[in-house]
């Protein structure tokens, strides 16, 4: 029977088709491979971002290399892990964040450097006392020395700013990885929904053939034939809508990958099976230490605290040391004691920080900036905790719907559809009963796929809040020590 053949074709769709491996990491893939790839977030990419030590033979002004893109673009054999890695290496937002970090690192060197020394030269243009011997030339060299600790304070402030820029790179990587996963989930769901609707359209077309046969035998009336044709037309419209949506979802996925929206993508078939095994309360408790955005805010707070120290040191003077050499400037003295006609003199000068209103305003500005950074960190922490709780609720809701539609309602809908079709063929059910059973089964199958996609998206959202896979949040974080090395690389 056609119904049995079509029903057999529908079962793998409802459970997830094998198809090309664009998003399928295979049945043996581990939970880690389905998340934000730890190899990229904690290994290669962080190593590429780690600053070069001067002791390793690299120049102090050398800019760390940008992440290298994989040689091959996504193809039909690409897994979800491959797509995430490709996006992290190629997305313009990640590249821009990396460049911002490189620029922030160079500001550390500039903050620690002394002002340029000054060289002076003097020559007598006209001598008023003509009875004296003519005065020759003078040459001077001087160096401004900021007050003790000021350069270190400025370098510390820029080091914390560089650490914040580094954390933004990690946060941007996590955001891009999450965007890729969500785009993959929507792309896969829309493709599967199109396949399911196409299968149901084929089913209704087979019913139309049965209805026409029964109509020729005067077993049903013309209204039944028209109803089945109207149902086919409605499914055709739904199918065209889904095909149009697939084009938009491809553009969204290409954008998440950092590619032109019209770039070619293979067909998607199914998402990898993912579940959340971690304790939810433990995840909420760890969020404050692991979230990339909060780590950015913490680095900003440290930078503003260092700015207050810089502002306090503005109250102290700068010292200028110099030496001046006079050529033929001591002729009279030379005649008296028989010495030389040249002179050598030392110089010391200090600035007078007497405009205290300016320095008071600078300190108040730094204190206000520090307070603002504290409040922003606190407010963002509250927001992220709320986002985490909403994501966990969304995951629980999706998990319940997966169980309901996948294990209960879809199975019952198939049973009802089979029974209604059998009754319709022998005249014990109307076409309205068939349409209702077909619509219910279609709704259950689409709801099951929607629940699978929502569950995957919620896990991607949770992983995005941690910037890494759920099962690797206990691993040591190397990004903060790497950021410290950015300051150590220029510290004597």
Give the closest residue to 188 by CA, choosing from 23, 401, 76: 23
Q: What average pLDDT score do residues 106-134 get? A: 79
Domain that holds residue 10: 2-488
Instruction: Quick: pLDDT tens for 226-245.
Output: 888 888 999 999 999 999 99
Instruction: With a cut of 70, say whether residue 109 has pLDDT above it.
Output: yes
CATH number for the domain including 127?
A: 1.20.1600.10
DSSP for 237-280, please give it.
HHHHHHHHHHHHHHHHHHHHTTS-TT---PPP--PPP----S-H
39, pLDDT greater than 60? no
pLDDT for residue 35 is more than 80: no
Measured distance CA(320)–CA(340) in Å, rounded: 28
Percent of the chain with pLDDT over 90: 51
Lowest mean pLDDT among 73-82, 156-165, 297-306, 462-471: 73-82
- pLDDT, tens digit, 9 for 90 and up, residues 300-326: 999 999 999 999 999 999 999 999 888
Q: Look at 4 and 410; give whichever has higher pLDDT.
A: 410
394 Cβ neighbours under 8 A, 6+ residues apart: 454, 457, 458, 461
Instruction: Name the CA dihedral angle for 213, 216, 219, 223, rounded to a multiple of 10 degrees.
Output: 90
- Whole-angstrom distance, CA of residue 27 vs CA of residue 106: 47
Is-contact 391 458, C-beta < 8 A?
yes
What is the rounded distance in angstroms from the CA atom of residue 1 to the CA atom of residue 5? 7
Least confident of 166-175, 262-271, 398-407, 457-466: 262-271
pLDDT digits (tens, 9 = 90+) for 458-469: 999 999 999 888
- Sequence-distant (6+) residues with CB within 8 A of 404 are 451
Q: How far is CA 239 from the centre of its chain?
A: 34
Number of domains in the chain: 1
- Structure confidence at residue 132 (pLDDT): 56
Q: Residue 468 in contact with residue 434, Cβ under 8 Å? A: no
CA-based angle 350:354:358, to the nearest 5? Answer: 120
Nearest to 196 by CA among 432, 410, 464: 410
Q: What pLDDT band is residue 442 in, cutting at 50, 70 and 90?
A: very high
- Is the pLDDT reported for residue 47 higher than 80? no
Is the pLDDT assigned to residue 5 strictly greater than 90? no
Q: Which two tokens stand for residue 364?
A: 């108040």
- Whole-angstrom distance, CA of residue 285 vs CA of residue 282: 5
pLDDT of amino acid 366: 95
Of 465, 450, 463, residue with least CA distance to 398: 450
Average pLDDT of the segment spanning 157-178: 94
Provide the pLDDT for residue 133. Answer: 56
User: CA 159, CA 483: separation in Å to the nearest integer?
Assistant: 8
Q: CA-CA distance, 179 to 94, in Å (whole number)?
A: 13
What is the CB neighbour count within 10 angstroms for residue 285? 11
Find the mean pLDDT for residues 316-345.
Answer: 72
């Amino acid at each position: 029977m056609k119904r049995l053949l079509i029903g057999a074709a529908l079962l793998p769709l409802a459970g997830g088709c094998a198809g090309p491996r664009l998003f399928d990491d295979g049945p043996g893939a581990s939970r880690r491979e389905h998340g934000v790839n730890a190899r990229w977030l904690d290994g290669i990419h962080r190593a590429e971002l780690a600053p070069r030590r001067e002791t390793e033979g690299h120049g102090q002004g050398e800019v760390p290399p940008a992440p290298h893109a994989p040689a091959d673009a996504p193809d039909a054999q690409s897994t979800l892990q491959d797509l995430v890695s490709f996006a992290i290496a190629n997305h313009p937002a990640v590249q821009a964040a990396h460049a911002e970090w490189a620029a922030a690192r160079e500001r550390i060197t500039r903050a620690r450097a002394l002002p340029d020394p000054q060289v002076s030269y003097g020559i007598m243009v006209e001598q008023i006392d003509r009875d004296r011997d003519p005065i020759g030339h003078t040459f001077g060299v001087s160096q401004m020395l900021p007050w003790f600790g000021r350069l270190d304070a400025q370098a510390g402030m820029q080091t914390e700013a560089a650490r914040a820029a580094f954390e933004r790179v990690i946060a941007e990587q996590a955001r891009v990885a999450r965007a890729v996963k969500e785009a993959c989930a929507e792309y896969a769901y829309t493709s599967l929904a199109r396949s399911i609707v196409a299968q149901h359209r084929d089913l209704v077309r087979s019913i139309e053939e049965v209805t026409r046969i029964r109509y020729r035998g005067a077993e049903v009336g013309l209204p039944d034939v028209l109803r089945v044709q109207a149902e086919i037309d409605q499914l055709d419209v739904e199918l065209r809508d889904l095909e149009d949506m697939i084009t938009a979802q491809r553009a969204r996925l290409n954008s998440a990958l950092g590619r032109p929206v019209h770039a070619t993508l293979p067909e998607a078939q199914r998402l990898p099976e993912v579940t959340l095994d971690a304790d939810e309360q433990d995840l909420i408790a760890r969020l404050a230490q692991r979230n990339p955005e909060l780590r950015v805010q913490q680095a900003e707070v440290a930078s503003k605290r260092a700015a207050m120290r810089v502002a306090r040191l503005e109250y102290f003077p700068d010292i200028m040391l110099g030496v001046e050499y006079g050529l033929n400037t001591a002729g009279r003295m030379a005649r008296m004691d028989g010495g030389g006609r040249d002179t050598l003199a030392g110089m010391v000068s200090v600035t007078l920080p007497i405009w205290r209103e300016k320095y008071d305003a600078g300190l108040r500005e730094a204190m206000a900036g520090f307070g603002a950074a504290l409040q922003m960190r606190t407010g963002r922490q509250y927001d992220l905790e709320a986002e985490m709780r909403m994501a966990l609720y969304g995951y629980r809701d999706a998990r319940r719907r997966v169980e309901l539609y996948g294990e209960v309602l879809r199975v019952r809908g198939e049973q009802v559809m089979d029974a209604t079709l059998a009754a319709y063929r022998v005249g014990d059910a109307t076409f309205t009963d068939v349409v209702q059973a077909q619509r219910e089964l279609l709704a259950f199958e689409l709801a099951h796929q929607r629940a699978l996609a929502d569950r995957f998206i919620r896990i991607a959202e949770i992983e995005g809040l941690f910037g890494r896979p759920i099962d690797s949040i206990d691993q040591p974080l190397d990004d903060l020590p790497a950021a410290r090395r950015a300051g150590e690389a220029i510290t004597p």
